[in-house]
């Protein structure tokens, strides 16, 4: 008779631990704000979003760490228009000053003639372009997202960005993208995405 103990209980414990780890990773949860803060690095491309409040910072509900090749024109913000100066070709989306690039395109499913003249405060838009050193987004495309709000009314008030991280503040548990600070909290979902 062998004095060896069966190894299956240890294997079962390891399998349960592995399954729990996979479920945790697939849930998109960051674990803790400190773990997410440790994973975020200056210069890293992210998609980040959260509800806009009465302050210039945003409570981060989701952060996706992106990998892949990104170009200077891949920056993006989706949020509510706050101001428009059609004469100067400028507007503000959340707190982001935007100006139109030469040949900028306007898109709208509901309004085929959508242009700068129809851009109004309160509209929910997506702006794609190049983030300039002066903190302005040079817009090459402006899309009216009214149809998105009809399908997903919970998106009203959301600020969504795609860009490089400017600053990480571990003590304040915040990350800044395109000059907009996102506060990381216990409800922030973290994901990693390959582009």
* Domain of residue 80, CATH code: 2.40.50.320
Report yes or no on 107 lying in a domain. yes
Number of other CB atoms surrounding residue 7 within 10 Å: 8
Q: Which pLDDT does position 194 carry in this prediction?
A: 62
- Please tell me the predicted confidence (pLDDT) of residue 185: 92
Closest to 138 measured CA to CA, from 95, 180, 91: 91
In a domain, 26, yes or no: no
- As a whole number of angstroms, the distance between CA 42 and CA 65 comes to 12
The Cα 145–Cα 166 span in angstroms is 27
Q: Where are the beta strands (DSSP E) in the chain?
A: 45-51, 58-59, 62-67, 75-85, 90-93, 96-107, 124-131, 137-144, 158-169, 174-177, 180-183, 189-194
What band does 35 get if pLDDT is binned at 50, 70 and 90?
confident
Q: Report the pLDDT value the prediction gives residue 30, as an integer from 0 to 100.
A: 43
The SS3 call for residue 73 is: helix
Q: Which two tokens stand for residue 51?
A: 């509800």
pTM of this structure: 0.81
Q: Does the structure show a pLDDT above 60 at 24? A: no
pLDDT tens digits, residue range 126-178? Answer: 999 999 999 999 999 999 998 888 899 888 899 999 999 999 999 999 999 99
Domain presence at residue 17: no
pLDDT bin (cut points 50, 70, 90) of residue 193 is low
- How many domains, the chain? 1
Q: Assess if residue 3 is contained within a domain.
A: no
Full residue range of the structural domain in which residue 120 is found: 31-194
pLDDT digits (tens, 9 = 90+) for 36-52: 899 999 999 999 999 98
Residue pLDDT, tens place only, 96-106 = 999 999 999 99
Pairing of strands 124-131, 137-144: antiparallel
pLDDT on residue 28: 46
Asked if the structure places residue 23 within a domain, the reply is no
């Amino acid at each position: 008779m062998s004095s060896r103990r069966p190894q299956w209980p240890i294997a079962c414990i390891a399998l349960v631990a592995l399954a729990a780890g996979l479920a945790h990773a697939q849930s998109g949860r960051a674990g803790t704000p400190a773990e997410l803060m440790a994973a975020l690095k200056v210069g890293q491309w992210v998609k980040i979003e959260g509800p806009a409040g009465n302050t210039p910072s945003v409570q981060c509900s989701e952060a996706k760490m992106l990998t892949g090749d990104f170009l200077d024109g891949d920056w993006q913000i989706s949020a509510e228009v706050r101001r428009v100066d059609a004469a100067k070709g400028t507007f503000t989306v959340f707190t982001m000053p935007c100006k139109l690039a030469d040949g900028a395109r306007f898109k709208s499913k509901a309004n085929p003639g959508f242009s700068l003249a129809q851009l109004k405060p309160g509209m929910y838009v997506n702006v794609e372009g190049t983030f300039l050193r002066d903190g302005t987004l040079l817009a090459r495309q402006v899309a009216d997202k009214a149809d998105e709000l009809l399908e997903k009314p919970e998106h009203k008030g959301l600020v969504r960005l795609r860009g490089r991280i400017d600053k990480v503040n571990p003590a304040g548990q915040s990350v800044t993208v395109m000059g907009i600070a996102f506060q990381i909290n216990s409800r922030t979902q973290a994901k990693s995405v390959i582009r």
